[in-house]
Structure 1
Amino acid sequence: MNTLAAPAPALRKDATVIGLVGLAHSISHFSQLLLAPLFPWLKDAFDVGYAELGLLMSIFFVVSCITQALSGFIVDRFGPRPILFAGLALLGLAAFGFSISTGWWMLAMFSVLAGIGNGVFHPVDFTLLNRKVHPSRLGHAFSVHGITGSLGWALAPAMLVPLTLAYSWRVALACAGVLAFTVLVVLWFNREKLALDAVAPAKAAAAQPVGGSLDFLQIPAVWMCFAFFFFYAMALSGVQAFAPEAARLLHEVPAQLAAICLTVYMVCSAGGMVVGGFLVTDPARCERIVGAGFGVAAAIALVLGFATIPALAVPVLFGAMGFAAGIAGPSRDLIVKRSAPDNATGRVYGVVYSGLDIGQAIAPLLFGTLMDLHRPAQVWLGIAVVQGVLIASAFNVRRVRRTVLVAA
C-alpha cells in the first residue's frame, strides 16, 4: 500500500500533534542540560572536579540508554501516551531532587531518575509522528521535532544561569521541575489528541514483520544508524558540556559572553533545522545534506580550537556551527525512518537512539578529563574528528541499505 497516495488529513490536526510532541520533546532536551550549565556553581558547592561532574552526565545517559532500548518494546505493546506522561513526571521529580541535593551521591541518584524519564521520549515521539502525521508532512514533522529539542537545550542555560545568578542554583533547579510538570498538565488536557487509533488484530498481525519481535536487530542498516547516532552524540555532548568553557580559556572570552554561546548554538541549530526540513523533501538527498552540514561544522570547530580569533567572534562561530549541524537534523531522522520495518517503529527508534545515550555517556568523561588536564584545544579537535566520522557513517547507512535491497 502506498501511504503517500492516501488523502492527507487536515493540516490543523497534524500540526496539533506535531506541536504537542515537540513541546514534550523540548522538556526532554531541557532536562538533559539541567546540570551542565551549573557546573561552575556545583563544582564549588560539592567540592568536585569536572570529571566527577561529567560522570553525573554519564550516569544519566547510561540509564537513559537502557531505558530507551527497553521502552521501544513497551511503546509498541502499550502505546506511547502513558509512557510519555510517566517520562515527564520523572523528569520533574528529578529536577526537584537535584534542587534539594546535599552531596554528589544525591545528584547521582537523581541523575538515575532523570535518565529513566529521558529514555522514553524518542520511541514515544517517533511512534506518534509516524502513526499520526501524514507521510507527506513527515519531513516538516521531523524538522519541528528537532527544532523543539534544540530550543529545549537553548532554554536550559538561558533560564538556569540567570536564576542562579539572581537567587541560587537550588531555586533554578526547582523552577525547572515546575516547568516539567506544567508541560505535563498541558499534555494531559490534550491527551485525546495523542491517542493512537485502534488497530484490528488481523490488520496488526498482517503488519508485523516476518519473524519475531527481535528480527529487526538483524537489519544491518539499524546498526549503522546506531553507530551514526553514537558519534553524533559524542560531538553534541562535547559542545554542550565543555565547548563554551574551552573557548573561554582559549580566546579569553568574558564569562558573560561564554555563557550565551551554547544558547546561540542551539537557537541557530533550530534555524538550521527549519531549512533542513525543506531540503529533505527529496529523501535521496539525506546523506549528502548530512555530509555537507557536518563538514562545515567540523571546519568551524577546528577554527575555534586552533585559530587566533577575537572574543566577540566566538559566539558568532558557535551560531554558524549550530546552523550547519541543524541543517542535517531532519535528514538524520529520515535516514532512520527509511531503515525501519513496518510496525516496529518504537523498537527501531529505541535501539537506534540508544546510541545517542551511549555517546553522551562516554563523551563527558573524555572531554572532562581533557579539561582537567588543561587541554581545551584538544576538546575542539575531538569534536571536529567525531563530526568528520559522522559523514562517513551516514553514507555507510545508505550503502548497507542499498546492498540489502539489491540482495532482496
Structure 2
Amino acid sequence: MLGHASVHWFELAIPLLLVVWLDVFEVSVALIGFIVALGYAPFGLGALPAGVLVDRYGPKRLILCCLAGMSVAFITLAFATSIYAIAVSLLLWGLLASIYHPAGLALISTGVDERGTVFAWHGIAGNLGIALGPFATATLLLVFDWRLVAIALAVPGLLATLYGLRAEFDPTAALEADSTTASSATHETDSPAASSLFESSRTLFASSFVLVFAIVTCVGLYYRGVLTYLPELLNGLPALAAVDPPGELAELSLGDYFYVWVLVAGMGGQYVAGRLTDRIAVSRGVAIVFVVLAVLAVAFLPVSGSGVWLIVLYCGVLGFALFAIEPFYQEAVAVYTPAETRGLSYGYTYLGMFGLGSASIAVGGVLLESVSVRALFGLLAVYALVGAIIAVRLVRRPVVTTATASPNSPDESD
C-alpha cells in the first residue's frame, strides 16, 4: 500500500508541474506533451523486464529499489536547467517507477487469499497517493518555488523506503494449499526469467491474456489522455475562472483542486469495484465501466460550459469510473494467467497500461495544439468503446484454475 501510494503520488504530481514548466521554459503544449510522454513511457515499457525480475528474485527488493529510485529522480528535477534536463529526470523516474506494479501485484496475487478485497484496499492506497500528490503539489506551489516542491515531494518516498527495509511478510502465503504451484512460483529455475521468456510470452498471448492485454492498453490510452491534460483544461473553464478566491488565496488555481476531487472520487470507485470482483465476472465489469467512460468523454464539452456544481458532479463521476476499472483488470490478470508467470503477466499488463498508453499523451498534445478539445475527447470515447467490445469477447473465455484463484471468481465459460 505504501509502494502503490508513493508511485502515484509522484505520477500525478507531474501534470501540475507540467503547467509550471510551460511557463518557466516557454515551450509549446505539443513539446511538453512529448517530454512528459517520454517520462511516462518507460513507466510502462520497463514493466516487462521488471516482471521477469520479480519472477526470478521476488518482490521485496525490487519494490525497495523502486521507492528509493523514484525519490532520487524527483530530487534531480530540482537541478534541471532546461526542458531537456527535465526529460532526463522524468525518464529516470519512469524507469524506476515501472518496477512497482509487476512486483506489488504479483505479491498480492500469490500472497493473499481474498484478492478482490485486497486489490480494493491496494487501489485505495494508490488513489490516496493519486489525490494527495496533486493536492500537495498545488498547495506547495502557492508558497514555494517548483524546485523546492520537487524535493519536498521526494521525502515521503524516502520515508517509505526506510519503513520497507524493516517490513517482513510471506510472498507465497496464498500458494501453500498447492505445494506444486508454490514451488513453481518461487523457484528461480522454473521462472520465465530462468527458462525461455519467449516461450512463456508465446504461451500467455496464445491464451485469453491477449484480450486482457488489449483491454488494459485501452484503459491506459484513456487514463493517460484524460489525466495528463485535465488540470490545464479545468483551469481554462469559464465557470471556474469566474470564482474569485479570497485575497490571501488569489493565486489559487481552482482547476487544480477540481482535479484533486477527480482523484479523491476514484478512491470510492476502487473500493466498490474491488468488492464487486468477488461477485461478478470481471469481463462484464470491465465492459460496463468502459461504456460509462465513453459517455463521460462525449459529455465533457457540454458540461464544461455549464455551472460549477455540474462540473463538480461530472468530475466525481469521472473519477469514480476511471478508477473503478482498475480492480477489474487486475483481477482479470490473476484469473486468466497461471501463478508461475504472474510477475511476467503483470509486466505485460503495465507495458500496455503505462507504456503503450503513454502514446495518448503525445497524440493528445498534438490534438489540443492543432485541432480541438472536442477531437481529444472524441478519441478518448473511441478508446473506451473499443475496450468495451474486447471485454464482451472475453466474457465466454475460460479462467485459469489455480490455487490462487479467488474463491468467488466466476467461471466465465458458463
Paired amino acid for 2:282: C
Aligned positions of 1:59-78 closer than 5 A: 59-78=38-57
Q: Is the 8 A contact 1:122 1:353 kept in 2?
A: yes
Q: 1:329 aligns with which of 326, 331, 337?
A: 326
2:200 to 215, 226, 237: 215
The correspondence for 1:145, drawn from 122, 126, 129, is 122
In the alignment, is the contact (CA less than 8 A) between 1:291 and 1:394 conserved in 2? yes
- Structure 1 match to 2:211: 224
1:233 aligns with 2:212: no
CA shift at 1:87, angstroms?
A: 0.7
Q: Tell me the equivalent position of 2:282.
A: 286
Distance 1:338 1:352 in 2: 13
Task: Note the C-alpha offset of 1:54.
Answer: 1.4
Q: 1:402 and 1:131, CA in 2 relative to 1: closer, same or farther beyond 3 A?
A: closer
Deviates more, 1:44-53 or 1:209-218: 209-218
- Between the aligned partners of 2:228 and 2:99, the Cα distance in structure 1 is 22
Amino acid at match of 2:353: L
Q: Classify the secondary structure of the residue corresponding to 2:165.
A: helix
Contact 1:84 1:121 in 2 (8 A): yes
8 Å CA contact 1:122–1:350 kept in 2: the answer is yes
Aligned-partner residue type, residue 193 of structure 1 = F
Structure 2 residue identity aligned to 1:238: G
Secondary structure at the residue paired with 2:383?
helix
Q: Deviation of residue 398 (structure 1)?
A: 3.4
CA distance in 1, matches of 2:210, 2:301: 32
Deviations 1:342-389 (A, max 9, x none): 311101110122101223320111111122226122222222222222
394 and 203 in structure 1: CA distance in 2 versus 1, 3 angstrom threshold: closer
206-215 vs 181-190, greater mean Cα deviation:
206-215
Find the partner of 1:362 among 342, 349, 359: 359
Preserved contact between residue 71 and residue 123 of structure 1 (Cα < 8 Å): yes
* Farther-moved stretch of structure 1 (98-107 vs 206-215): 206-215
Can you list the C-alpha shifts for 1:273-324, whole angstroms capped at 9, x where unaligned?
A: 2111222212x52222222223223222222224542134213201111112
More deviation, 195-204/345-354: 195-204
**Could you say which residue in structure 1 is the equivalent of 2:247?**
none
Amino acid at match of 1:305: L
8 Å Cα contact 1:151/1:270 also seen in 2: yes
The percent of aligned pairs where both chains have the same amino acid is 22
Q: Secondary structure at the match of 2:306?
A: coil
Deviates more, 1:202-211 or 1:362-371: 202-211
Residues 250 and 376 in structure 1, CA contact (< 8 A), matched pair in contact too: no
Residue 125 (structure 1) aligned with residue 125 (structure 2) = no
Partner residue in 2 for 1:31: 10
Structure 1 counterpart of 2:299, from 291, 297, 303: 303
State how far apart, in whole Å, the 2-side matches of 1:361 and 1:330 are: 20
CA drift of 1:216 comes to: 4.3
Change (3 A) 1:289 1:66: closer
Asked if structure 2 preserves the Cα contact closer than 8 Å seen for 1:66 and 1:119, the reply is yes
Is the 1:260–1:315 Cα contact (8 Å) retained in structure 2? no
Partner of 1:58: 37
Q: Which moved more, 1:72-81 or 1:215-224?
A: 215-224
| 1:90-239 → structure 2 map (5 Å cutoff) | 90-134=69-113, 137-190=114-167, 192-193=168-169, 204-205=183-184, 212-213=196-197, 214-218=199-203, 219-239=206-226
TM-score (norm 2): 0.84
Where in structure 2 are there 5+ consecutive unaligned residues? 242-251, 401-410
The superposition leaves residues 123-180 of structure 1 with CA deviations (integer Å, 9 ceiling, x where unpaired) of 111121122212xx11011111222222222112101111111111111111111121
Match of 1:45 in 2: 24
Which letter maps to 1:385?
Answer: V
Deviation at 1:30, TM superposition (A): 1.6
- Tell me which residue corresponds to 1:397: 394
User: Which stretch of structure 1 is more off in the superposition, 144-153 or 348-357?
Assistant: 144-153
Taking a change above 3 Å as real, the CA distance of residues 258 and 304 of structure 1, as seen in their structure-2 partners, is: same
SS at match of 1:166: coil
Asked whether the equivalents of residues 143 and 329 of structure 1 are also in contact (C-alpha less than 8 Å), the reply is: no
Cα shift at 1:400: 4.7
How far apart, CA to CA, are the structure 2 residues paired with 1:265 and 1:202?
40
Q: What letter is aligned with 2:60? A: R
Query: Is the Cα contact below 8 Å between 2:44 and 2:356 reproduced in 1?
Result: no
Q: How many equivalent pairs are there?
A: 382
Partner Cα separation in structure 1 for residue 13 and residue 412 of structure 2: 46
**CA 1:194–1:50: 2 relative to 1, 3 Å:** farther
Letter in 1 for 2:144: Y
Q: For residues 239 and 406 of structure 1, what CA distance do their matches in structure 2 show?
A: 31
Distance (Å, rounded) in 2 between the aligned partners of 1:327 and 1:167: 34
Between 92-101 and 324-333, the greater mean CA deviation after superposition: 324-333
SS in 1 for 2:377: helix
Please point out which of 236, 252, 261 is paired with 1:264: 261
Is the 1:209–1:342 contact (alpha carbons within 8 Å) kept by the matching residues of 2?
no
Q: Which amino acid aligns with 2:266?
A: S
Give the secondary structure class of the aligned counterpart of 2:308: coil
Verify the 8 A CA contact 2:105 2:346 in the aligned structure 1.
Answer: yes
* Letter aligned with residue 278 of structure 1: R
Q: Which runs of 5+ in 1 are unaligned?
A: 1-21
**1:374–1:252: structure 2 CA closer, same or farther, 3 Å change rule?**
farther
